[in-house]
Every structure is written in C-alpha cells, then in structure tokens.
Amino acid sequence: VLAWFRRMRATEPVSHDEQAGVWHVFGSADVERILSDSATFSSEFSSLMPAQEDVDRFIKGNVLRKDPPQHRKLRNLASKAFTPRVVADLADRIDVIADELLDAMAGAPRVDLVADLAYPLPVIVIAQLLGIPPEDRPMFGRWADSLVAPESQTGFIPNAERTRAMAVVMREMNAYCLDHIRRRRAHPTDDLTSKLVAAELDGQRLDDEEIIGFVGLLLLAGHITTTALLSNVILCLDEHPEAAAALRADPAALPGAIEEVLRYRTPLAPSMRRTTRDVRIGEHTVPAGQIVLAWLASANRDERRFAEPDRFDIRRTPNPHLSFGHGIHFCLGAPLARLEVRIAMEKILARWSEISVGDGAEHHDARGIFGARRLPLDVRWA
C-alpha cells in the first residue's frame, strides 16, 4: 500500500475510483485542506445510508459524523467531561491494568501481543472510565468487533444488508447504554458517564441519545486504533533494531518514538468526507455529493512535508503527522492513546529484555487499519 501511495502522489494525487464510487486524495496539502474545510467536506453521511432507526439513534451523538453547528455543541460538552485532567488521572489505573495483563503472561517465552495486551488494555481502560462493570466488558468487546468489521474500516458507505446487521448490534448497545446512563442520572458516581450527564455549557446539556452515541463512539474509536498503534510500535522496533537499542538506552525518547510510529505506520489510514458542492482539488473538479477518502497514511509519507519520509527516525522534529486528523474533528482521544501506549511500552521495555516478532503475524487490510490483528512475539523476560 505504501508503494501505491508513492506512485499515486507522483502520478495521480487526486484520483477517481469509479468502481468503488470514491475519490482518493494522496498529497498532504490537499488532505489537510479537506480536513480544514468542513463546509465543503462534510462528515455527515446519513443521507447516503439506508434509513434505520437504531442506526440513527446510535449516530445522533457521534461527533465524528457531525458538521457544525451540531458538532460544536457535542464536542464542547464532551470535552468538558473528557478533559486532559480526566485522562492524566487515568495514568495510575492504566499502570495497574498493564501490570495485570503482563503478570498473566509472566515467564511465557511466546506471547501474542494483540490478544494478551494491545487489545484488552484500551478496552478495559475505556470500560472502566465509563463505569461499565467488569462482567459486562466481554459483551462490549463483541459489539465493538462486529461494528468495526473490515468493510467499515475502508471508509465506504455500508450497504443495506450491512446496515441491517449493524442495526441489530446497535439496538442492543443503545438499550444497554440507556440503562447505564439512567442509573447514573439517578445515582451519579465519578465516572465519565456521570460527567457526561452533568456537563453543561451555556445552559445546554447532552440528552440521553447524544450520550449513547458518544459512549458508543468512544468504545469503537478508542479500541482498534490504539491496539494497532501498540502493535505498530513493536513492529517498527523489530524492523529497526538500532532504534530499539537507542530507546532502551534513553527511555525519555519514547514519546518522540511513538509520534514517529504514528507517522510511519499510520493506524487509521483514510479519513472520509462527502462533498457539499462542486470543488476543485488539484487538477480535478469533484462534483457535489461525492465521497472523498483523504489518505492520512499517504500524507504522512509526503516528501513535500517530511525530509526523507521513508526513514524511521525516533528523534524526528518537528513531526507534523496527520495521524490524529486535523481541524475540528482532531482526535479527542489522542492524549489517552498516547498515555496508554507510553505506559505499556515502558513496562514492555522493562520486563522484556529481548523481543522478536515470531511467525504467524496477521495484519488488518492496510487500506483501512494499519496494524496487526495477531502478533506472536518471542520474548526474554528480564
């Protein structure tokens, strides 16, 4: 897929895929412009999807799929509850969860990084943050898996059949979340759900359905992407032993290394938008009502933005990657993702003195999610 990006940036930076019914955009300046202009490049797709009550309910509070002014209300209220302080306060809990997961594999010479750590960690963190009881967590895992199916990762609009299948899961999830929210309305705790219920800005509050959509989005958005990022850190260090050695010698380089992994192996490869009017991008006029895939993963390798873009450099500064998006939809969970992966990596480096990627790794379709689905590692315990 990286070769495809390079070829397209050089020959066809804006390209119409008639069969798939989408426009691809590969250059970093064009990608950034698309993400900056929400009036022309909308994040609302409901008009293109078969109507489905359960899906509509689920999407009502989904900031990612809203345009201004609704986006502003949801985002501001959600940000009021999901503050940098709330995230920083999670550090101790993340520490405990990561330790527990590593303790469970203690001494094993071969582990699956994804199943044993990278997948459960973000799911447990977000479930704890929302106040979901531990016994209900596996259910959330199942819901998340069925909603984040491969075809929905490539950013195409789901068809009627897929929408129906999603609606079944969303109905269950909506009902569960509604119960949870009502319990918190009646008896608030200090979890994020209670904070979302209480959040108020200029006399505005979130209603139940808006909270359902936001909770659903948090569970989905925070889960596969963070798993992918942690697996990508290990894959990059395996490919670049000199970087792994530098990191072991200087653990303070870890945050910079994580940023470089975000750039080098971009977890969420495209962002999707819908044109609201005819618009000129590069040498093409894209008509209104078209789906545009803005390839973050390609922008992150654009030679016009990065010197030696194909070199993995844990000390790259500045590193203006677009892996968390750009503009009004910039990832709300970026501080949490960075924190989880940093803590997990500190523990991995302390506990495993040698790590090598074993046979049997499985990867997601790189045109959607860039990351491992299964990552067997041979490790030596310190």
Based on the shown chain and the rule CB under 6 A, indicate whether residue 114 belongs to the binding site for ligand HEM. Answer: no
Based on the shown chain and the rule CB under 6 A, indicate whether residue 268 belongs to the binding site for ligand HEM. Answer: yes
Pattern 10-49, binding to ligand HEM, x per CB under 6 A? Answer: -------------------------x--------------
Based on the shown chain and the rule CB under 6 A, indicate whether residue 120 belongs to the binding site for ligand HEM. Answer: no
Cα dihedral: 134, 135, 138, 140 (round 10): -70
- Asked if residue 323 lies in contact with residue 233, where contact means CB atoms within 8 angstroms, the answer is no
CB of 36 to ligand HEM, least distance (A): 11
Residue nearest to ligand HEM (CB): 333
- Asked if residue 287 lies in contact with residue 307, where contact means CB atoms within 8 angstroms, the answer is no
The residue from 8, 59, 63, 297 that contacts ligand HEM (CB under 6 A) is: 63
Query: Cβ neighbours of residue 69 under 8 Å, at least 6 residues apart?
Result: none
Point out which span in 46-54, 145-153, 325-333, 368-376 binds ligand HEM (CB under 6 A): 325-333
Point out which span in 10-18, 241-249, 332-340, 356-364 binds ligand HEM (CB under 6 A): 332-340
> What number of other Cβ atoms are within 10 A of residue 249's Cβ?
8
CB of 366 to ligand HEM, least distance (A): 14
Residue 358 in tokens: 């074993």
DSSP category for residue 118: I
The residue from 126, 197, 243, 299 that contacts ligand HEM (CB under 6 A) is: 126
Residue-wise burial string across 68-102, b where 16 or more C-beta atoms lie within 10 A, e elsewhere: eeebebbbebbebbbeeebbeebeeebeebbeebb
CB of 377 to ligand HEM, least distance (A): 20
Nearest alpha-carbon partner for 110 in 358, 346, 351, 348: 358
Residue 270 in tokens: 């495209």
**105 vs 328, which CB is nearer to ligand HEM?**
328
The set of long-range contacts for 355-358, using a CB threshold of 8 Å and a minimum separation of 24, is: 355/234, 355/237, 355/238, 355/244, 355/379, 355/380, 356/238, 357/234, 357/235, 357/238, 358/110
**33 vs 75, which CB is nearer to ligand HEM?**
75
Strand partners, 206: none
CB of 228 to ligand HEM, least distance (A): 7
**139 vs 331, which CB is nearer to ligand HEM?**
331
Nearest alpha-carbon partner for 214 in 178, 263, 240: 178
The residue from 102, 144, 229, 234 that contacts ligand HEM (CB under 6 A) is: 229
Based on the shown chain and the rule CB under 6 A, indicate whether residue 345 belongs to the binding site for ligand HEM. Answer: no
Strands 279-281 and 284-286: antiparallel
Residue holding tokens 């895929």? 17
**371 vs 381, which CB is nearer to ligand HEM?**
371
Based on the shown chain and the rule CB under 6 A, indicate whether residue 325 belongs to the binding site for ligand HEM. Answer: yes
| DSSP secondary structure letters along 292-352 | EEEEHHHHTT-TTTSSSTTS--TT-SS----TT--GGG--TTHHHHHHHHHHHHHHHHHHE
Based on the shown chain and the rule CB under 6 A, indicate whether residue 271 belongs to the binding site for ligand HEM. Answer: yes
How many amino acids of this chain bind ligand HEM (CB under 6 A)?
24
**164 vs 276, which CB is nearer to ligand HEM?**
276
DSSP category for residue 268: B
The residue from 58, 143, 324, 370 that contacts ligand HEM (CB under 6 A) is: 324
Residue 257 CA to residue 241 CA, distance in Å, equals 13
Residue 375 CA to residue 185 CA, distance in Å, equals 41
The residue from 13, 267, 309, 371 that contacts ligand HEM (CB under 6 A) is: 267
**127 vs 359, which CB is nearer to ligand HEM?**
127
CB of 89 to ligand HEM, least distance (A): 14
**268 vs 291, which CB is nearer to ligand HEM?**
268
Which of positions 135-194 make contact with ligand HEM (CB under 6 A)? none
The residue from 127, 323, 361, 368 that contacts ligand HEM (CB under 6 A) is: 323
Residue 252 in tokens: 């303070």
Binding site for ligand HEM (CB under 6 A): 35, 63-64, 75, 126, 217-218, 221-222, 225-226, 229, 267-268, 271, 323-325, 329, 331-333, 336-337
